[in-house]
Amino acid sequence: MSTTGSVGTAPSASADPAAPSTPTQPQSTVMDVDAPESSPPPNSSPAAAASSAPTQDSTADSTAGNTYLFTSESVTESHPDKLCDQISDAIVDACLTLDPSSRVACETICKTGVVIIFGEITSSASINYEQVIRDAVRDAGYDDPAKGLDYKTCNVIVALEEQSPDIAQCVDSTKVEDMGAGDSSTVFGYACEETPELMPLSHMLATKLSARLAAVRKDGTLDWIRPDGKTQVTVEYATSAQGVPVPKRVHSIVISAQHSEDVSNDKISADLLEHVVQPVVPSKYLDEKTLYHFNPSGRFVIGGPHSDAGLTGRKPIVDTYGGWGSYGGGALSGKDATKVDRSASYAARWIAKSLVSNGYCHRCCIQLSYGIGIPHPISIRVDTYGTCTNKNGKTESDLVKLVESNFDLRPGCIVRDLDLKRPAMRKTAAYGHFGREEFKWEKVKDLSKA
C-alpha cells in the first residue's frame, strides 16, 4: 500500500460528501482541506464552508524550528496479521474459559484459503480448535473465497504440542508469589499527557481511524468497503519549555481501504473524508495544510490473506504506543499471562499511567526486565525524559523506589492483581492493548500517599 503518488485536489472537510474529487491522476488522492469545528449541512457550498473554517496559529507551521513530525500507523481487525493475533487470542480465551491455569503459546499463520495454528498448550480443557478458528475468521468478515478466505471452506491445520516440562517447572507453583517468569524478557510501558487516555495522539488517531473503517463496513454505512485496511497519521509536535511533546496539528492522514470492484476513486475519497476522518479527528487539529492520501496506490481490490500472508505478533507497534516510548520482549497475543512478554507489559503500562496521572511526571517510560524462573524483576527503570524534576521535585531514582514499594511485580502477583486468568484476551488483539478503559491495567493506582 504505497503512500506515494501525484498530488491532486478534493472536497474540503465541509463540502457536499457526494461531490467528486478531481485528482490529477485517478490512482492518487492528496487533499489540502479546511476542517470546520463541525460538519455543515450536506447542501452547504464548499466556498461558504471554507470562508468560515478556522485556521491554526502560525506557530504550528511545520517549518518552525521547534516543531517536528511523528507518524503512527494502525490496521483494521481484518488485516492478515491482526486476524492471526485474534485467532491466537481466541485460542487463549477458549482454554482459560475451561481451565484458568492453562499454559498457552499459540501462533497463527493465514494465507489464501488456509489457516494454521501451531505452538504449545498444556490445559485440562477440551477445545474444538477448528471451530474457534472458523468463528474468528467469520467475525473478521472473511466469508467469501473472493476475499481471500472463507470461514466455511478454508483449510484448517492444527499443530499443537504440550508445553516443555523444563518451562513448566518454572511457572508451576502452589504459591502465586513464588511463580517464576516463564521466560527471560525485557518489556516497556509508556504514558503521556497528550490525550485523556494518557496515550500519544498520533497513535490514538491512527487506531481510532482503523476502528472506524471497520465500523462503517459492519454497519453498512459504506457498502463498498472490504475487510482489509490500514491507516497512518502524522502529527506535528512542538516541544514545551518543560521538554514535553505538544501536539499542534495533524500534518497528514493516509488511509488504504480495501474496496469492491465497482467503486470510483472519487467516491472512496469523499466517503472516507465524511464517514471516517471527520467523525474521528478533532477539527482543532485540522487546517488548510492538512494532507489526505486516500488509497494512494490507486486500487485495493485484492486484500486480506489473498494479498499478504498473516502471522501472529507482527504488529507490535500497532499493539502498543505507535512508536513512542520503547518496545521490547516478544509479541503480546497468543500467550497466557505466565508469559511476562504479555503480563509484565501490562504492568509496565499500569505503572507508567499511574505515575503520570498522579502528577509525578508529564511523560514516562518504564522498563522491566525478567530472568526465566526468577520471581522478582532483574531490573526496573523509570525514564521521565527529565519531566519528573520539573513537575514534582522527585528524581527518577525516587520514582523507582516508589514503584518498588507500591507495585508487586512478581509474575504471579501481576496475574492476580490484573485478573489475567479471565478469558478476555481476544478483545486486546485488535485496536491496541493500551489506552482502553475496559482493561484493568488502565485503572490508575492512587499514589497520593506514596
- Active site annotation includes 120: yes
Of 376, 380, 430, 439, the closest CA to residue 408 belongs to 376
| Helix, coil or strand: residue 279 | helix
Residue 54 pLDDT level (bands cut at 50, 70, 90) = very low
Residue 176 pLDDT level (bands cut at 50, 70, 90) = confident
What residues contact residue 216 under an 8 Å CB cut-off, 6+ apart? 222, 225, 275, 276
The CA distance from 381 to 154, in Å, is: 46
- Active site annotation includes 144: no
444 and 352 Cβ atoms separated by less than 8 Å:
no
The CA distance from 143 to 145, in Å, is: 7
- Active site annotation includes 426: no
pLDDT at 95 over 80: yes
Residue 14 pLDDT level (bands cut at 50, 70, 90) = very low
Q: Across residues 278-297, what is the average pLDDT? A: 97
The active-site residue, picked from 35, 82, 226, 287, is 82
The active-site residue, picked from 111, 217, 249, 335, is 335
- Active site annotation includes 315: yes
Instruction: Write the DSSP string, 30-60.
Output: EEEE---SSPPPTTS-HHHHHHH-----GGG
The active-site residue, picked from 103, 339, 353, 362, is 339
412 and 418 Cβ atoms separated by less than 8 Å:
no
Q: Where are the beta strands (DSSP E) in 165-289?
A: 185-192, 225-239, 245-259
- Active site annotation includes 309: yes
Of 80, 84, 96, the closest CA to residue 429 belongs to 84
Give, for 119, the enclosing helix (H) or strand (E): strand 114-122
DSSP at 22: B
**To the nearest whole number, what is the mean pLDDT of the chain?**
86
Cell of 1: 500500500
342 and 332 Cβ atoms separated by less than 8 Å:
yes
The active-site residue, picked from 107, 183, 274, 336, is 107
The per-residue pLDDT for range 156-172, each reduced to its tens digit, is 999 999 877 666 666 66
Which residues sit opposite 186 in a β-bridge? 369
182 and 171 Cβ atoms separated by less than 8 Å:
yes
pLDDT at 366 over 80: yes
Q: Across residues 252-267, what is the average pLDDT? A: 96
pLDDT at 362 over 60: yes
Which listed CATH number (3.30.70.270, 3.30.300.10, 3.90.940.20, 1.10.3720.10) goes with 30-73+201-306? Answer: 3.30.300.10
The active-site residue, picked from 53, 73, 79, 259, is 79
141 and 78 Cβ atoms separated by less than 8 Å:
yes
Burial of 318 (0-12, 13-18, 19+ CB in 10 A): buried
- Active site annotation includes 308: yes
| Helix, coil or strand: residue 136 | helix
- Active site annotation includes 376: no
Quote the pTM value: 0.85
Cell of 35: 476542517
Give me the percent of the chain exceeding a pLDDT of 70. Answer: 83
The active-site residue, picked from 203, 212, 226, 230, is 230
- Active site annotation includes 362: no
The active-site residue, picked from 183, 194, 336, 341, is 341
Give me the percent of the chain exceeding a pLDDT of 90. Answer: 76
- Active site annotation includes 421: no
The active-site residue, picked from 143, 150, 193, 308, is 308
Single-letter amino acid code for the residue at 117: I
Residue 328 pLDDT level (bands cut at 50, 70, 90) = confident
* Strand bridging mode 155-161 / 114-122: parallel
Q: What is the structure's pLDDT at 22?
A: 35
- What is the greatest pairwise CA distance in the chain? 71
The per-residue pLDDT for range 201-226, each reduced to its tens digit, is 999 999 999 999 999 999 999 999 99
Single-letter amino acid code for the residue at 157: I
Total residues belonging to the chain: 450
392 and 360 Cβ atoms separated by less than 8 Å:
yes
The active-site residue, picked from 314, 381, 391, 401, is 314
pLDDT at 25 over 90: no
The active-site residue, picked from 103, 226, 315, 426, is 315
User: How close are the terminal C-alpha atoms of the chain, in Å?
Assistant: 49
The active-site residue, picked from 188, 294, 300, 434, is 300
Handedness of CA 11, 235, 249, 74 (dihedral sign): positive
Q: What is the structure's pLDDT at 170?
A: 67
Strand order in the sheet with 103-111: 155-161, 114-122, 103-111, 310-311
- Active site annotation includes 111: no
